[in-house]
Amino acid sequence: MEFPTDPNLIIGMDSMDDAGVYKITDDIAIIQTVDFFTPIVDDPYWFGQIAAANALSDVYAMGGVPKTAMNLVAFPIKEMDISILRKIIQGGLDKMKEADVVLVGGHSVEDKELKYGLSVTGFIHPDRILTKKNLKVKDRLILTKPIGTGIINTAIKGGLASEEVIKFVTHLMATLNRDAAQVMEGFPVHACTDITGFGLIGHVAEMVVDSDFGIGLWSEKIPIISEAVDYAAMGLVPAGAYKNRKFREKMVDISSSVDRSIQDILFDPQTSGGLLICVDSKSANDLLIRLKNKGMDAAIIGEVLSEPKGRIVVN
């Protein structure tokens, strides 16, 4: 497919990055992204917050600041009470307020299946855009949220998750990546993305595919929601994790010492996951401390390698 070109389009359809970026002047570019999905938690107010945090995340992953948003709503008005929609939108609105984002409009359609999300516009200096590329050998990778939400959500749907873990994962998914984005601003960060539907390895793969670099992941360092390990061992692994594995397994060498449940978690699709920050090795520890001081369960989970090019090695 051929997409329209424009000299001011910095990140477009062919880049497959977190969001599109269009330069307005030498000092300012706009970031645009859109995301919406069906409910992943029962509580409509929390679903609204999670959907908004998830939609805003791609702006943070580009190193930008979200400014305006529009609601996207699909709602089964004949079968569902309108008060549910009000709670969803209130959740989204409260999350936007927290992010200092102003709601400027939106659109709703009648649909059999409820869906909610946002289209978001953010600002960034054109020289400070963080793509998935531009890695340097020895860079460290920092993950800012624990993974395993897809597996936990599968357990919730199966009625097997405890109230405690439901609450934990709901709050985790509703947490903005804003603090992480603000903290990394002061550091020599070379690349950034956020962990969403393709799972940790899927998003790491996007960083190294067709590049001159490889990435080594240290499985024991990766923050994982502990209940996800138990649920994965019980086979509560969403179909998306198998799809993600099939899609990228040719690029990945996983040591046989990595437990099968952990392997499943590395491919587990995340909702509103954390940022994956690729930072100069000398600054990695300082950045990690700053993230932890902000209350994040962050960790240095791997490094950029010169070999094997275009591949991921998991130990």
For Co ion, the binding residues (CB under 5 A) are 18, 35, 58, 61-62, 130, 192-194
Tokens of 149: 């939400």
Smallest gap from residue 2 Cβ to Co ion (A):
23
Residue closest to Co ion (Cβ): 18
Of 139 and 194, the one with the shorter C-beta distance to Co ion is: 194
List own/partner pairs for 46-49 with CB under 8 A and 24 or more apart.
46/91, 46/170, 46/174, 47/88, 47/91, 47/116, 48/87, 48/88, 48/89, 48/90, 48/91, 48/92, 48/93, 48/94, 48/95, 48/116, 49/91, 49/92, 49/94, 49/95, 49/174
Q: Quick one: how far is CA 298 from the chain centroid?
A: 14
Calculate the dihedral angle through the C-alpha atoms of 232, 236, 237, 239, rounding to the nearest 10 degrees.
Answer: 170
Report the C-alpha gap between 92 and 98 in whole angstroms.
Answer: 10
Q: Which CB sits closer to Co ion, 161 or 287?
A: 287
Q: How far is the CB of 253 from Co ion (least distance, A)?
A: 25
Phi, then psi, of 257 in degrees rounded to 5 = -75, -10
Minimum Å gap between C-beta 104 and Co ion is 20
* Least Å from the CB of residue 130 to Co ion: 4
Residues 6+ apart with CB under 8 A from 115: 36, 37, 38, 72, 73, 74
Cβ 31 to Co ion shortest distance, Å: 10
Q: Which two tokens stand for residue 123?
A: 């600002």
Cβ closest to Co ion, residue 64 vs residue 91: 64
> Minimum distance between the CB of residue 86 and Co ion, rounded to whole angstroms?
26
Q: Which is nearer to Co ion, 193 or 244 (CB)?
A: 193
Of residues 53 and 61, the one with the C-beta less far from Co ion:
61
Residue 85 vs 135, nearer CB to Co ion: 135
Q: Please, which residue, 194 or 303, has the CB nearer to Co ion?
A: 194
Instruction: Give the HSE-up count for residue 90: Cα atoms under 13 Å, Cβ half-sphere.
Output: 10
The number of beta carbons lying within 10 Å of the beta carbon of residue 90 is 14
Nearest residue (CB) to Co ion, 129 versus 251: 129
CA of residue 260 relative to chain centroid, distance: 23
Q: Quote the least distance from Cβ 248 to Co ion, whole Å.
A: 16
Q: Count other C-beta atoms under 10 Å from residue 227's C-beta.
A: 21
| Separation between Cα atoms, residue 26 and residue 218, nearest integer Å | 40
User: Minimal distance in Å, beta carbon 175 to Co ion?
Assistant: 16
- Minimum separation from the CB atom of position 192 to Co ion (A): 4
Q: Which of 203, 57, 180, 193 is nearest to 117 (CA)?
A: 57
Given a contact cutoff of 8 angstroms between Cβ atoms, the answer to whether 216 and 305 are in contact is yes
Q: In terms of CB distance, is 89 or 120 closer to Co ion?
A: 120
Q: Which two tokens stand for residue 259?
A: 């437990």
